[in-house]
Structure 1
């Protein structure tokens, strides 16, 4: 029977693990799944491991600081109306940016001191305290080599200053080769992580031997695999409907236009025929559509708008006036003068950020597709194309079912204000909580009470059943309790 590795001499354990990780392929494929905490613990075991970790660029190519204890910032504001600070001494010369970005700037200083910062190409700062000035430094400071940055659900971020920094970095008079940043995750939610991860790392004893570190890696990799298998369908290409939990400011549209071809985002511009960037611009009678629309908000049409919904083909004609956004059909054309790529701005970045690569192709590629769609042999064996129709809410208003995500294009439109009348409308509002629903969804969720004759919703009228509404059910229950 094989002897347990934990009972082997420490020198043999170190030699075996060191020989395994000396293989650059093994190390590069393993390091992205480890936290900084585990990597630094391994480097502290011996001089040989320290040299291997700090002298191999692939180890810190992907850096996730979201679970690092020293990067956390739990203070909400600097001044609470004269509240006395006990644990934090605020210098009168300390700026707001220095205060809120202090933990991350301290980490970046140490990484730069150990000559590690230049190796970081995929940086994740989700949920941390991040300021616009810190993002500006990442964009212009030559000490950073970040190509893909994730700042989802961060704190203390001034979005107006962030948009200004992005537009300044992508200006036409920018220096050659800048900005190095090519992809920015900012709109979507961060990936859910176990809440007790930081507490577990801070309270549990640190592994001191390579065998213990390897056992911890194996356990965490199993947890990561289980979590990845339980993830929801992929955004944009598989998950239809609303893509972002929060509202996106209108000013972000002009930022995406300014960064088009230079920096990609986890969102794209709406391609509806109401906007200037649409391939169907001028091909649809927008004035007639506005006259038939039930909502007066359709009369105000911005030139550009960020897409918030991923749609399939129109329920009437099966397509859209602007066509599909299909991965793999267009080549990676590039303008040599402006260094603009046609794919940067057309396809969204897909969460989570890539693990084993720092290229935009890996960050944009849908699951099951080729990373290089322009390759002559790519996608030949694929039967189903990865495609979607990006639209903003104003471009599907009164023509979109929130229940089943069906929608009707401008050509197939029939609304409550159309010439066909309300009885022929594709979607109507029968429940305030459900919103606009199609007839199939209404037949599934809406009922007529057999006792009072009123209409009710099975989803939002708690206490109702298939026969009576919640009021009648509750009234009969109270009547029975009296006797």
Structure 2
């Protein structure tokens, strides 16, 4: 490898440029390579020669994915604007400048330069993770025709007013919106931003100081090993493989109304809870809500009409499912709308996609929602009926909010019991409920009059039989542990 690199460096510069130009002249190679390079590196390549400039600026999909989190001009190390007595050096501030204008200034400057270079219209996947992003800037991305962004990532951003952001999203998805707007179809917001392996300052200084080919090759080998180690240490895929809580922080309750208003128009990296207590649930009306509220350990909690799902669950430990059923990737809704010819409409397809969350990280080589939502090992276009095989199983999960799994979920082993199999810790005996809650929506109660769970529907003993008891981290209520 070192000999090849040395022989390659011995070639004249013109021949090297010609070989690279012929390689990148293949649009497939260039479009598949460009997403792994920063915008700064791509523009530097275009500045080397006229041929490269023509190739970069006239090849489709070169700037389809733009990540500005690693761009230095998009970041600044200042603190809050309102710091009494602080002197701003080398900065001229207009007295009419607002705080939002100040923090969005770097990104607006970058967008202005990209617009003048006729690059901004080609950006379809835009990542602003970790930067200073304001709600007004997101409003412009949603409604300005000069933007062609289809997937936007603003995870872990700073100085963002969530209330104004919710208002901007609801305004963009209003019924009187212009045709074809908003162009943004996917928004990453709730999850944590992606972590990429980076070299330390000492390693960067050492690699930049070493000019020999062997040193450069060793540095690249070290970076490859770090990337491989980080890839092997990645967490399981969200929602489908990782059970339990999906987000590190708390989600405001008003986000549920925003997700409901944007359903079928903009998808998020979370979905609405499908518990039978919510209006959007397929299992609405299948359980006795009064019995659940009476048996709750905290009295009768106020369950909102809509709620954002924060937990991914497997099937109930007793019946193996849930009153609302599973969310299965690729499965069409039975109520899908079809046109006069029997073909599914775009509105019905978007309604199907609203059931699935966006999966991190954002796609590298496409701006398709199906690709952004497709679980690992699954096909983008699945057709019913889905028949699991030995190699490929159906990717599925049950999305729930915390209120819908309260008193029925174990945070240690991630087992849970649905409303049809277990009412709550304060439920009375089965005989009392049988007389007062009879009918098609009645809920069976597995708890005996002594307060001990029966053997068949045991909440605590199931965890004990599977090796997760009081000593194994089971977080079930104390009176449910065998």
1:302 to 301, 304, 324: 304
Partner of 2:452: 423
Q: 1:438 offset after TM fit, Å?
A: 4.8
Determine if the alignment matches structure 1 residue 441 to structure 2 residue 468: yes
Please give the alpha-carbon distance, in whole angstroms, between the structure 2 residues aligned to 1:117 and 1:215.
37
1:345 to 351, 354, 362: 354
Change (3 A) 1:158 1:101: same
Q: 1:29 offset after TM fit, Å?
A: 1.1
**Kept after mapping to 2: 8 A contact 1:398/1:427:** no
Partner of 2:374: 365
SS class of match (1:388): strand
Determine if the alignment matches structure 1 residue 327 to structure 2 residue 356: no
Moved more, 189-198 or 50-59: 189-198
Aligned length: 436
1:373-422, Cα deviation, whole Å (9 max, x unpaired) = 24899987853110000000000001000001000000111543123354
1:258 to 258, 261, 264: 261
Please give the alpha-carbon distance, in whole angstroms, between the structure 1 residues aligned to 2:41 and 2:239.
34
Partner of 1:170: 173
Q: 1:355 offset after TM fit, Å?
A: 0.7
1:118 to 121, 139, 147: 121
Q: TM-score, normalised by structure 1?
A: 0.82
Change (3 A) 1:87 1:354: same
Q: How does 1:220-299 map to 2 (within 5 A)?
A: 224-296=227-299, 298-299=300-301
**Kept after mapping to 1: 8 A contact 2:75/2:106:** yes
Change (3 A) 1:68 1:223: farther
**Kept after mapping to 2: 8 A contact 1:400/1:427:** no
Partner of 2:163: 160
Q: 1:35 offset after TM fit, Å?
A: 1.4
SS class of match (1:237): coil
Please give the alpha-carbon distance, in whole angstroms, between the structure 1 residues aligned to 2:13 and 2:386.
50
What RMSD in Å do the two structures reach over aligned CA positions? 3.2
SS class of match (1:27): helix
**Kept after mapping to 1: 8 A contact 2:317/2:417:** yes
Please give the alpha-carbon distance, in whole angstroms, between the structure 1 residues aligned to 2:473 and 2:162.
41
1:36-69, Cα deviation, whole Å (9 max, x unpaired) = 2321222222221122112223111001111111
Moved more, 189-198 or 251-260: 189-198
Please give the alpha-carbon distance, in whole angstroms, between the structure 1 residues aligned to 2:351 and 2:217.
43
Q: How does 1:13-28 map to 2 (within 5 A)?
A: 13-28=16-31
**Kept after mapping to 2: 8 A contact 1:271/1:322:** yes
Q: TM-score, normalised by structure 2?
A: 0.82
Change (3 A) 1:29 1:94: same
Which consecutive unaligned segments of at least 5 residues does structure 2 have? Answer: 339-343, 429-446
Change (3 A) 1:203 1:338: farther
Partner of 1:461: none
**Kept after mapping to 2: 8 A contact 1:401/1:427:** no
Q: 1:226 offset after TM fit, Å?
A: 4.5
Change (3 A) 1:201 1:98: farther
Q: 1:120 offset after TM fit, Å?
A: 0.2
1:292-335, Cα deviation, whole Å (9 max, x unpaired) = 11122x53010000000000000011000000000012178677
**Kept after mapping to 2: 8 A contact 1:256/1:345:** no
Partner of 2:9: 6
Q: 1:224 offset after TM fit, Å?
A: 4.4
Partner of 1:48: 51
Partner of 2:432: none
Please give the alpha-carbon distance, in whole angstroms, between the structure 2 residues aligned to 1:53 and 1:257.
41
SS class of match (1:14): helix
Partner of 2:406: 397
Q: How does 1:468-483 map to 2 (within 5 A)?
A: none
Partner of 1:131: 134
Q: How does 1:54-93 map to 2 (within 5 A)?
A: 54-93=57-96
Q: 1:84 offset after TM fit, Å?
A: 2.7
**Kept after mapping to 1: 8 A contact 2:386/2:394:** no
1:100 to 90, 99, 103: 103
Change (3 A) 1:86 1:375: same
Which consecutive unaligned segments of at least 5 residues does structure 1 have? Answer: 429-436, 448-454, 456-483
Partner of 1:463: none
**Kept after mapping to 2: 8 A contact 1:262/1:340:** no
SS class of match (2:469): helix
**Kept after mapping to 1: 8 A contact 2:197/2:230:** no
Please give the alpha-carbon distance, in whole angstroms, between the structure 1 residues aligned to 2:7 and 2:262.
56
Please give the alpha-carbon distance, in whole angstroms, between the structure 1 residues aligned to 2:46 and 2:137.
28
SS class of match (1:17): helix
